[in-house]
Structure 1
Amino acid sequence: MFGANIGEGVIARPGLRVRFPWKLEVGDRSWLGEDVWLHNQDRLVIGSDVVISQGSFITTGTHAFRTDMALRTRPIHIHDGVWITSRAVILGGLTIGQNALVLPNTVVRRDVPANAIFGAQDGAVVGQRFPDSSDETQDR
């Protein structure tokens, strides 16, 4: 366990990756699905009866990409009863409230309230890849 604090009855499926086990706490009866990546460069607390479904990525770290690329870390707290569905991405510094559900393919950038169903809206254009391009259909 390399220093991780793991509760009773936790199920860790094949392909689970944990960056720093000594910064990880998982409560009783939680489920960590196939190919889940816990990129925990800071403290990561996962409560009891939590499900983190396949392919999800939870990261406590990022870089100061507009300045010097310095590593910046912030802890994450996932409360009891949370279900993070497949391929969700959870970013550092967040709290996911008790019994919340995060929908598939959602990038979580802010706290999720208890009992909430949280997910991305339909896709939308948020900017241009090549702002100087005059032909919008170039890559279609």
Structure 2
Amino acid sequence: MATDVTHVIKLKDAPGERTAWGRSRAVVYLWGVAELLFVTNPWQISSGLRVRVLRAFGAQIGSGVIFRPRTRVRFPWKLHIEDDSWIGEGVWFHNQDHIYVGHDVVISQETFLTTGSHRHKRDMALVTRPIHIEAGAWITSRCMVLGGSRIGESALVRPMSLVQGHIPAGAVAAGNPAVVTGARFKNGSDA
């Protein structure tokens, strides 16, 4: 009779997260202060000011991008957003790897994008994979997008969905995990 074997991984021996920082400790800590004051701040300060602060720390953000209050960006130097995209209130880019957002993308309220995980069977070392969101996609509210995911051009992800993998162009996806449930545009309609 086989028995399941369990192990406790000693977290004090796990490789540290600083491997994903990509900048000095001073820059990371300075970014933490700037993020708190200008990006995560719930006050209705200028979206343009948020974008300027993100760019000052290395984010590549195109023109016409709207960044609402209470957003979080772990490492701005690993964030790439093309023109005319909208980032909703409370969106969290937990980007230990790069996140690429195409033009005219909407990422709605409280969505969480995370590029990092851990080697849970070995030593809990950090493992990262980038996220790609193509032009015209709409990730609706309170979704979660995991590292290694790609959301195709003009795809729509319904509220509270978990994306782990590829959502094809023009698809509507929903669920946990998100699966394709239909097409976003049918015969030119938007119903």
TM-score band by shorter chain is: 0.7 to 0.9
Please identify the structure whose Cα radius of gyration is greater: 2
Q: C-alpha displacement at 1:45, in angstroms?
A: 0.4
The number of residues matched between the two structures is 121
State the alpha-carbon separation in 2 of the partners of residues 65 and 35 from structure 1: 28
Are 2:77 and 1:52 equivalent residues in the alignment? no
1:71 aligned partner: 126
Alignment of structure 1 residues 13-24 onto 2, 5 Å: 13-24=68-79
Could you report, residue by residue, the CA deviation over 1:88-131 in whole angstroms, capped at 9, with x for unpaired residues? Answer: 0000011110000000000111110000000017xxxxxxxxxx
4+ residue runs over 2 A deviation: none
SS in 2 for 1:22: helix
Greater mean deviation of Cα atoms: 59-68 or 4-13: 59-68
Unaligned runs of 5+ in 1: 122-140
Bigger relative contact order, structure 1 or 2, given CA contacts below 8 A and separation 6+?
A: 1
Q: C-alpha displacement at 1:64, in angstroms?
A: 1.1
State the alpha-carbon separation in 2 of the partners of residues 64 and 106 from structure 1: 24
Q: What is the percent sequence identity of the aligned residues?
A: 58
2:61 aligned partner: 6
Identify, as 1 or 2, the structure richer in helix. Answer: 2
What is the aligned-residue RMSD (CA, Å)? 0.9
- TM-score computed with the length of structure 1 as normaliser: 0.84
State the alpha-carbon separation in 1 of the partners of residues 164 and 102 from structure 2: 20
Alignment of structure 1 residues 1-140 onto 2, 5 Å: 1=54, 2-120=57-175
SS in 1 for 2:132: strand
State the alpha-carbon separation in 2 of the partners of residues 65 and 54 from structure 1: 30
1:131 aligned partner: none
State the alpha-carbon separation in 1 of the partners of residues 100 and 136 from structure 2: 13
2:21 aligned partner: none
SS in 2 for 1:119: strand
Unaligned runs of 5+ in 2: 1-53, 177-191
State the alpha-carbon separation in 2 of the partners of residues 58 and 15 from structure 1: 15
Q: C-alpha displacement at 1:75, in angstroms?
A: 0.6
